[in-house]
Chain A
Amino acid sequence: MATDKKDNHWKEDFPVYQLESTQVSRRDFAKFLCLVSGGLAVGSGYVAIKANFFPPDKMVGEHFVCKKHELPVGGTRSFVINGSTIPYILIRMENDEFRAYEQKCTHLSCAVFYKPGSGKIECPCHNGLFDAFTGEVLAGPPPRPLPRLTVVIKGEEVYVKDFKPDNDKPDPNRQSRS
């Protein structure tokens, strides 16, 4: 037959029979979904192992931030702690209290800032709002409160240390304000 003499190399580029071809992409899609599923399982395993066996290091000791008079009322000062790259902010609230938080929004890690006079910390990226007294989420997409540090004031100097929730449990200032 004449067809046998033709150059049939084009067939190498189309390795699937036409009858089967309608299912190829869906088969590959199903296999791909299975791969994604495996990836998610591995990811969950990573989270589980990391959370249970390699918890993040606690901050040890107290760290000097600045002198009290260097920060005006309503002012903010960003700082990092030696040996770590996490950015923090120290806030001097309007009632002369100090608060320190991690500066990374818990949503997508944008830098948050204190809105003077409002008692709120704002994230400009998606309008997340945090309570500047507790770090709780007030509005917006952030899923978790801002990680907080305990502020220790020794005379004129401001120090921070790892946050212990029971340190200031009664939080009298919070009560009097609301």
Chain B
Amino acid sequence: MSNFREAQNQAHPNKTNTLMLALIMILILNVSIQVWLLYTALNNALEKNTDIAFPSFIASSILFLIGFGWLYFLPSGPRVTK
């Protein structure tokens, strides 16, 4: 029986390249949103509006978990039979 990983490893390199690009794009997007969240939370906290800090922490953690789970789909490259 073949699983997702094996099927992906047999895919054509063009396909895995596209996947890799999509993955990296999403990760970059996540990181930019997180940068923005941190910047906003910090500026507000320094201005003594602390309410925004916790929601932004939660949002940031969710984005991290998404990105982390996302790594499962990272193509591991064609297996070379030894």
A50 at the B interface (CB under 8 A): yes
Contacting chain B: which of A41-49, A89-97, A112-120, A125-133? A41-49
Kindly name the residue among A17, A43, A55 whose own CB sees the greatest number of chain B CB atoms within 10 A.
A43
Contacting chain B: which of A24-32, A67-75, A77-85, A150-158? A24-32
Given contacts A40-B64, A51-B50, contact A34 B27 (CB under 8 A): yes
* Pairwise interchain contact A34-B71, C-beta atoms closer than 8 A: yes
Tell me the complex Cα distance, A45–B45, Å.
Answer: 12
Tell me the complex Cα distance, A45–B41, Å.
Answer: 10
Q: How many B residues touch A, CB cutoff 8 Å? A: 38
Q: From A17, A47, A55, give the contact of B80 (CB < 8 A).
A: A17
Q: How far is the CB of B64 from chain A (nearest CB, A)?
A: 4
Closest A-chain residue to B70, C-beta based?
A34
Closest B-chain residue to A32, C-beta based?
B27
Q: From A20, A31, A43, A51, give the contact of B71 (CB < 8 A).
A: A31
* Pairwise interchain contact A34-B57, C-beta atoms closer than 8 A: no
The majority secondary structure among interface residues of chain A is helix
Give the residues in chain A near B24, CB-CB below 8 Å. 26, 29-30, 33
CB contacts between A and B, total, < 8 Å? 105
A167 at the B interface (CB under 8 A): no
Give the residues in chain A near B56, CB-CB below 8 Å. 44, 47-48
Q: How far is the CB of A33 from chain B (nearest CB, A)?
A: 4
Q: How many A residues touch B, CB cutoff 8 Å? A: 30
Given contacts A33-B28, A52-B53, contact A47 B45 (CB under 8 A): yes
Tell me the complex Cα distance, A73–B5, Å.
Answer: 76
* Pairwise interchain contact A44-B34, C-beta atoms closer than 8 A: yes
The interface of chain B, by Cβ under 8 A from chain A, is 13, 16, 20, 23-24, 27-28, 30-31, 34-35, 37-38, 41-43, 45-47, 50, 53-54, 56-57, 60-61, 63-64, 67-68, 70-71, 74-78, 80
Question: Which are the 10 A-B pairs with shortest beta-carbon distances?
Answer: A51-B45, A48-B53, A20-B77, A40-B34, A33-B27, A48-B57, A41-B64, A44-B60, A51-B50, A44-B57
